[in-house]
Amino acid sequence: MSNSGVHEPNPAEGKLTYELDRAGVFHSWSAQRNLKPFVPAGALGSVMWDYDGKEYLDFSSQLVNMNIGHQHPKVIAAIKKQADVLTMIAPAHASLARGEAAKRILSHAPEGFVKVFFTNGGADANENAIRMARLVTGRDKVLSMYRSYHGNTGAAISSTGDWRRIPNEYSRGHVHFFGPFAYRSEFWSTSPEQECERALHSLERIIQAEGPKSIAAILAESIPGTAGVLVPPAGYLAGLRALADKYGAMLILDEVMAGFGRTGEWFALQADYGDGRNSVVPDLITFAKGVNSGYVPAGGVILSKRVAEAFDDEVFPGGLTYSGHPLAMAAIVATLDAMADEKIVENAAMIGRDHIGPGLRALQEKHPMIGEVRGLGVFWALDLVTNRETREPVGADVINSIKSSLMADGLLPFASENRIHVVPPCVVTPDEVARAMEIYDKAFSAVEK
């Protein structure tokens, strides 16, 4: 990309890229025959472009992970510098980049967290957090929400609540429950307060029915992301902490999607849900995605003192060849330093408060198909309905039409079920948000006609 924003077209290379993909690449979560993947040629910040030179606002952040934006020069420079020094070492050895990465992550975590176990991504972060909770408590069962996604490895996919769990249930000891979702309440609630109270009551009854002494952990996304950006009502996360304490279980908060700036805080558990900031401290925090925007794959588990000390004299029976890979660690250090120096987390909070939130609510007033707007920071979802009274979700045909319109007008969307998720990088600008709102408006108008 040139600084002028002009991208040299190269249709031949684009054609080759597409053909090679379709000839040899097996895509995740897809029937393969009729796939037509988007073919980007490059990207910078919140913008991508294809081989014809057409630009797209990336309001998907790829898989809601491109928090620092595409091709941040400081992160790329750090990866190159580390590659010149040491590209790979075994996890048993000490690495300056790994130690610096752990130091920075712990500096943003709540007080009382003392160690970081590095993984290759979010799924194996949750996998190892579950393992730690089972080993420390001596218990087996893990409770997690139906509206959730925790990854595609054994225990992580069994902990997941959505449809992807069902063909993959090979791990033992998983129990699911409904968390709060006032717009589509499972508890016949009429207010967020009532939804919170009834959701916690239902969970406690499940704990009692399953046998409290069999439960190792409650695992929850601080804000369920793929399930719909379900911002919890005031008191809910604190209620999870209280139930875990009451019954001797651990609380694992999954910050894989919501962490590192996505909500306008370093961690979503630090956001203000109406019950005070920093009011919920879990036993384990899992992370990935935004910690270095996936420039080099990385994730991890942040351990509280209690969990870390349990393995002072007992062997932790887990590890990965690429745990704390030096290139990934260098990317983490550079990402977190740049986010702090450039106030990128603060930008995400401002963008959500002053631009995305007001913009989406204005669209809701104009378009009856937008049943609910939810979110904070750069983490939002539009719940689309055929009727606001019945709240009946729109079908796949409507979502596909909206996606096609958005792409045609230069916006790369994130869609799930009946929802359009509005999840740009944390570096997105007010002008880019304004342009996106125009594109969303046009797409909804076209579908409603």
Confidence (pLDDT) at 67:
98
368-371 long-range contacts, Cβ below 8 Å, gap at least 24?
Answer: 368/448, 369/394, 369/398, 369/444, 369/447, 369/448, 370/444, 371/183
Q: What's the fold here for domain 11-71+343-448?
A: Aspartate Aminotransferase, domain 1 (3.90.1150)
Q: How far is CA 17 from CA 24, 48, 161, in A?
A: 11, 16, 35
3-state DSSP of 172-202? CCEEEECCCCHHHCCCCCCCHHHHHHHHHHH
Which segments of the chain belong to CATH 3.40.640.10?
Answer: 73-341
Confidence (pLDDT) at 65:
97
Of 86, 69, 114, whose CA–CA distance to 432 is shortest? 69
DSSP 395: -
CA distance 86 to 66: 25
- Supply the pTM of this predicted model: 0.96
CA distance 155 to 125: 11
CATH number of the 73-341 domain = 3.40.640.10
Determine phi and psi for 421, rounding to 5 degrees: -95, 135
CA distance 260 to 122: 13
308-313 long-range contacts, Cβ below 8 Å, gap at least 24?
Answer: 308/114, 308/115, 310/132, 310/135, 310/136
Amino acid identity for residue 172 in this structure? R
Q: What counts of helices (H) and strands (E) characterise the chain?
A: 14, 16
Amino acid identity for residue 422 in this structure? V
| Environment class of 320 (CB within 10 Å of its CB; exposed 0-12, middle 13-18, buried 19+) | middle
Confidence (pLDDT) at 2:
36
For the chain, residues with pLDDT lower than 70 are 1-5, 275-279
Classify 280 as helix, strand or coil. Answer: coil
CA distance 221 to 236: 12
What sign does the dihedral 274-279-280-285 (CA atoms) show? positive
Which segments of the chain belong to CATH 3.90.1150.10?
Answer: 11-71+343-448
310 token code pair: 């349990």
Helices (H), 181-312: 192-210, 236-247, 305-310
Q: What is the CA radius of gyration of the chain?
A: 22
